[in-house]
Amino acid sequence: MENQAPGRLAADLLGITIDNPVIPASGTFGFGYEFAELYDINILGTFSFKGTTKDARFGNPTPRIAECTAGMINAVGLQNPGVDRVIAEELPKLAQVFHKPVMANVSGFSVEDYAYTCARLDREPQVGWLEVNVSCPNVHGGGMSFGTDPEAAAEVTRAVKAVTTKPVILKLSPNVTDIVRIAKACEEAGADGISLINTLLGMRIDLKTRKPVIANTMGGFSGPAIFPVALRMVYQVAHAVKIPVIGMGGVSTAEDVLEMMMAGAAAVEVGAANLVDPFACRKIIEALPGAMDRYGIRSLREL
């Protein structure tokens, strides 16, 4: 890539230096090797692999996807083969094509689920960070998401930190009235970093059938339309906690990455854009030096 001085795009992420701050978000990049057939994915800072649970999950009934203005709604339902098969089958395939630490994204339906899955993945040498998605329904807590209650989010954080050695990043749901309170609860419980935002809750109705488009009625709303909400929450959290924040939500251009970093993000995840254009992250990385030049930014570390 022209115009990319060594280290100019580098970012520090919880003790690991990454070549650039662009990270495909979990659920939009599979386990990486599918995208490696299209381009050299080692250009990425890292990526967050598909949300992994203790046991295999088939996911939600179809239809799971609904289009909307400047975004999409999905209700895939954490479809994955379960942590044992991820370790036995997916990670060895990934190791052949990606030669950097990868971010493991973990979901669970009880505190014990989270601890078990994180402990298993923590032992894998390829895993550099654990991104713990607390937007899942708490089966023992009436179905409310762990991430909507500060104490539940803190309980997950403490349980995961007790069984792991690698940096733990709590991925927060935006479907709350006070995102800062939840982020601070995670920080106090020992979280090493915070990533946000996960999808907003949305729905569409089919005018012909007069029924919801998504089989589950509602799903996660993502895409460029949510960027201003994400930016606001990243700004609020980054100014309230002392641990690094990873920003995401509607990021689709190099300028969006710069804006997220100016709001306080140490690195930036790109989600829905990968589903629209599988080359989205590569294009953003290639466009970053030019965007930095236009705004007089010598290196991303100064942001």
Q: Which of 118, 136, 186, 281 is catalytic?
A: 136
- Measured between alpha carbons, how far is 167 from 227 in angstroms, rounded to an integer? 26
Q: Taking the mean position of all CA atoms in its chain, how far away is CA 69?
A: 22
Residue 118 is a catalytic residue: no
Q: Is residue 229 classed as helix, strand or coil in its secondary structure?
A: helix
Q: Hey, how many other C-beta atoms are within 10 angstroms of the C-beta on 162?
A: 11
Are 71 and 225 spatial neighbours (Cβ–Cβ below 8 Å)? yes
CA distances from 27 to 48, 52, 109, 170, 222 (A): 8, 10, 17, 16, 12
Q: What contacts 47, CB < 8 A, 6 or more positions away?
A: 23, 24, 29, 32, 41, 98, 102, 103, 281
- Measured between alpha carbons, how far is 109 from 107 in angstroms, rounded to an integer? 7
CA distances from 136 to 51, 80, 147, 277 (A): 11, 14, 8, 27
Give me the amino acid identity at 245: V
Catalytic residues, which ones? 136
